[in-house]
Amino acid sequence: LRAAAQSGASAIALGHTADDLVEGAVMHLLRGCGIAGMRGMPSRRGIFVRPLLGVWRTEVLDFLDRRGIGAVADPANTDTTYARVRVRSELLPALERDRPGITRRIHAAALRAAGLQDQIELQAAALLSSAPLTTAAVATLSEPVAVEVLRQLYARAAGVEPALARTHLTSMLRLIRGGSGGRGVDLPGGLRFRVVAERAQIVPRVPPPMELSLATRSCDGCDDAEAAHLQSGLILSLGFRQPGLTMRPAPGRGTRKLQDIFVDAHVPREDRDTWPLVFAGQRLAWVPGVAVDRDLCANRGETSLHVTVTRILSSGLQKSPW
């Protein structure tokens, strides 16, 4: 990679042959795989390309021999402690003796699987580019396409491919289809998959460190949807969830538990303990982005306290109000 960067190369060609493709496909089948695994290995992944997947190892050696070039042998290629070497030296020869031509038939099947996988990846990319991913959209997909959608969703969230195991993808599918699966799935790279208000999301498992800033000013009335307008003269402070909190949310009637307000607003469970709350004395006045107490909010047109809460990440980056 360093040499490619220094030379400005746009691709790095690897020497895997048709034999490597077959060995990879067989190993994936032994472990259990889908269409992507049946390919053996992709012809391209990022900057890496494999131009020789249609050329057999014997053809490469013959090509070199005719030109008087000796091939460099890796000692690990004869070490049977490696599963790939056992597949190459024991399993495939045994299959070929029993079913002559099976190696080439596996190769042909792997190439067909690669073509199908290419189509699946295009469908998944188109779906993710068209709109936020919803559970309803996933319900209409075949399982191979749904799995690829989730794999690409993970990659777009700065996941390191191919870090997702089949167990991750199975749990993600179960959660998004409404089966038993808890409230989220922890993923490699410090990420978490969750479903909020029928939308699938991949978020940091631990929210980035941040500070909260409470700002108030006098306001004669404005249409700032990201602010609360509370009665003048209130002494406000920031806090977080604690047992027994209630509110009389506008414009409804009666008193409601904060827990129920969070549920109705589809605030994820793991976010509720760190969601900022604005108090007037000991009374909950505003849940930013969610609800405001009807007894403490100002009437439209009268002078009020214009209240905002801003998140400031540890990096110094200021995020938009709630």
CATH number at residue 178: 3.30.465.60
- Calculate mean pLDDT across residues 122-150: 93
Instruction: Kindly give the interhelix angle for 57-66 and 18-31, rounded to the nearest 10 degrees.
Output: 160
pLDDT at 181 over 50: no
- Calculate mean pLDDT across residues 150-172: 83
Predicted pLDDT of residue 108: 98
- Range picked from 56-65, 245-254, 305-314 for highest mean pLDDT: 56-65
- Residue that finishes a domain, picked among 124, 143, 169: 124
pLDDT at 186 over 60: yes
9 shares a domain with 120: yes
- Tokens encoding 138: 């996933």
d(CA 181, CA 172): 8
177 shares a domain with 216: no
Q: Kindly report, residue by residue over 224-233, the tens digit of the pLDDT.
A: 888 999 999 9
* % of residues, the chain, pLDDT over 90: 60
31 shares a domain with 43: yes
Predicted pLDDT of residue 229: 93
119 shares a domain with 233: no
d(CA 103, CA 95): 8
- Residue that finishes a domain, picked among 106, 124, 142: 124
- Residue that finishes a domain, picked among 206, 224, 248: 206
d(CA 45, CA 15): 14
Q: Which domain, by its residues, includes 17? A: 1-124
Q: Kindly report, residue by residue over 245-259, the tens digit of the pLDDT.
A: 999 999 877 899 999
Q: Kindly report, residue by residue over 13-60, the tens digit of the pLDDT.
A: 999 999 999 999 999 999 888 899 999 999 998 899 999 999 999 999
pLDDT at 189 over 90: no
d(CA 58, CA 79): 20
Predicted pLDDT of residue 157: 87
Report yes or no: 162 and 150 within 8 Å, Cβ to Cβ: no
Confidence bin at 165 (pLDDT 50/70/90): confident
SS3 per residue for 96-130: HHHCCCHHHHHHHHHHHHHHHHHHHHHHHHHHHHH
Asked if the structure places residue 322 within a domain, the reply is no
Asked if the structure places residue 254 within a domain, the reply is yes
Confidence bin at 265 (pLDDT 50/70/90): confident
pLDDT at 313 over 70: no
180 shares a domain with 83: no
216 shares a domain with 196: no
- Tokens encoding 283: 């009374």
Predicted pLDDT of residue 100: 97
Does 284 or 314 have the greater pLDDT score?
Answer: 284
d(CA 275, CA 76): 54
Asked if the structure places residue 318 within a domain, the reply is no
Per-residue CA distances from 270 to 67, 146, 210, 282, 288 (Å): 65, 25, 16, 24, 17
28 shares a domain with 119: yes
d(CA 3, CA 7): 6
139 shares a domain with 97: no
Asked if the structure places residue 64 within a domain, the reply is yes
Entry pTM: 0.65
Predicted pLDDT of residue 221: 80
Q: What angle do CA 89, 93, 95 make, to 5 degrees?
A: 130
